[in-house]
Amino acid sequence: MIQLSTSVCLLGGLFLIAPVLMAPTLANMCRPLKTLNDSLSHRRRYMKHNFPINYTIRVHHKEIFKLSNISKMRLNVEELDNLVLQRLWFQVNQGVLKKIIRVMPERHPSRPYTAELERRFRDAEGVFVESHPAEVFQQELPDTIQDIWDGLTEEPDRVPDSSWRFASPKSLLDNFCHTMFCLFSECFASTEAPQDYCDVSHWRKGRKKDLQPES
């Protein structure tokens, strides 16, 4: 702690605007996550235009993991560590990517895109795991989070019918992207215009500017 504040003073003295300080473990994540964001920024073309209109795939309802879920969990789960949500984010989106890839024939025009997206996601996950002591991943999860985890890792044939939902690949990647900005917001912070990426209305505004009637 003492060391940290010394470096804050030093930085504050050296630069007019002190850069946002973050834990070194999170700093490691920023490069792979930015690379992932570069891929995700093409999701409309590859996940919407290359699929039939209104195309949906079947996912577990817990794989629909949106900003509203995060805010609800933060309200309802006491002392919820962001790291727990980050672990959940990796778990959810690993399943989402697998399900999207599974429905695409070998020659589907979005296949190379999705394969690269998955590769980049794995890279980020590798850095995430390396950046934390192994004990972190053995820590007990809060009950509500453990229940979600169990639902996600259940054998598909043991999942009750009522737990399945249909969602478009594009909407799943929208969730993937928006929750990434929220849970790793330090990596996407902008000095000129600070954003609250966890705020649902942030993305609603973005959509209007898009001038796309339906996304």
At 59, give phi and psi (nearest 5°): -135, 165
Question: Going by C-beta distance under 8 Å and a sequence separation of 6 or more, which residues neighbour residue 173?
Answer: 40, 43, 47, 96, 100
Site mask for ligand NAG (CB under 6 A), range 74-113, x = bound: ----------------------------------------
CB closer to ligand NAG, 46 vs 65? 65
Given a contact cutoff of 8 angstroms between Cβ atoms, the answer to whether 86 and 28 are in contact is no
Nearest Cα to Cα of residue 36 among 124, 164, 165, 153: 124
Q: Name the minimum Å distance from CB 161 to ligand NAG.
A: 15
Among the residue ranges 33-41, 109-117, 153-161, 199-207, the one whose residues contact ligand NAG (CB under 6 A): 33-41
Q: Which of residues 48-67 bind ligand NAG (CB under 6 A)?
A: 53-54, 61-62, 64-66
Nearest Cα to Cα of residue 62 among 191, 158, 154, 184: 154
Kindly determine how many residues on this chain lie close enough to bind ligand NAG according to the rule CB under 6 A: 14
Q: CA 92, CA 179: separation in Å to the nearest integer? A: 11
Q: Which of residues 140-179 bind ligand NAG (CB under 6 A)?
A: 148
Which residues here bind ligand NAG, judged by CB under 6 A?
37-38, 41, 53-54, 61-62, 64-66, 69, 148, 181, 188
